[in-house]
Amino acid sequence: MEWLSYLSFTGGGWGDELLRGLGVTLALAAVTLPLGLALGLAVAAMALFGGRLLRALAVGFSTTIRGLPELLTLFIIYHGVGLAINSLLKWHNPGATPVELSPFLAGVVALGLVFAGYSSEVWRGAWQALDPGQLEAAQAIGVRRLTIFRLIELPQLLRLALPGLGNLWVSLIKDTALVSVIALNDLMRMANIAVGVTKKPFLFFAVVCLIYWAICLLCEWALARLERRANRGFEREGHTA
């Protein structure tokens, strides 16, 4: 079976390169997730509780990010931010050595912004679904706003937002393939290199397809278990009613 030799981890096989690329893909998604969650939550809070300026900034951010193709956002961050940094360095010190933005860092920032733009709408919807009476009752007995958020609102927000955030997480894993265009050695780029050397596009792209599919299936299984755990008390109440 000749195709097995192409995927082996010894000799001229590409198995080890694909495995390293998979590690980069998973690391990129794992680092991007907390950034996108935190920024999305902050944008949602600005849109709901901020003043007129903060609300305008939040709406403008989410509308702009969701209106741009992810690939274009990646190019803007990778090339535009790098150009801005070098322009500032040249203005401060004309003899400064140009700085090249790391493809991994550019991928984290770009995908984090995309995730934040979409997750802010999920957070906002979950926030609006909360019972305002709980907030009013806590404020009436003198509980601080930060404590109310940490102990009362956040646990409920996580439960309500989990389905939407889970879908965004699966989309994020697939969107990591975009970073291959800025020379980050992720799974997709390593597959492209293997195809260029071996001239076996169907084999390697089929393998990559199966890998992404398996990862998404695993994530969906884990998310379904999390949703059942988060809603177990509410399901019993609904069944009793």
Look at residue 138 in the predicted model and tell me its pLDDT: 87
Under DSSP, is residue 11 helix (H, G, I), strand (E, B) or coil? coil
Taking the domains of the chain in order of start, what are their residue ranges?
A: 24-232
Q: Give residue-wise pLDDT tens across range 142-157.
A: 888 888 888 888 889 9
- 110 touches 78 (CB < 8 A): yes
- 187 touches 236 (CB < 8 A): no
The tokens for 200 are 């076996």
Look at residue 24 in the predicted model and tell me its pLDDT: 96
At 196, is the pLDDT very low, low, confident or very high (cuts 50, 70, 90)? very high
Judge if pTM exceeds 0.85. yes
33: burial class by Cβ within 10 Å (0-12, 13-18, 19+)? buried
**The CATH number fitting domain 24-232, selected from 3.10.129.10, 3.40.190.80, 3.90.226.10, 1.10.3720.10:** 1.10.3720.10
Checking if the pLDDT of 163 tops 60, the result is: yes
Q: From residue 238, how far is each of 26, 233, 241 by CA, in Å?
A: 38, 9, 5
Mean pLDDT within 73-82: 90
Q: Which of 25-39, 49-63, 221-235 has the lowest mean pLDDT?
A: 221-235
Look at residue 236 in the predicted model and tell me its pLDDT: 53
Per-position b or e across 209-233, b if 16+ CB within 10 A of its CB? eebbeebeeebeeebeeeeeebbee
- Average pLDDT for the chain: 89
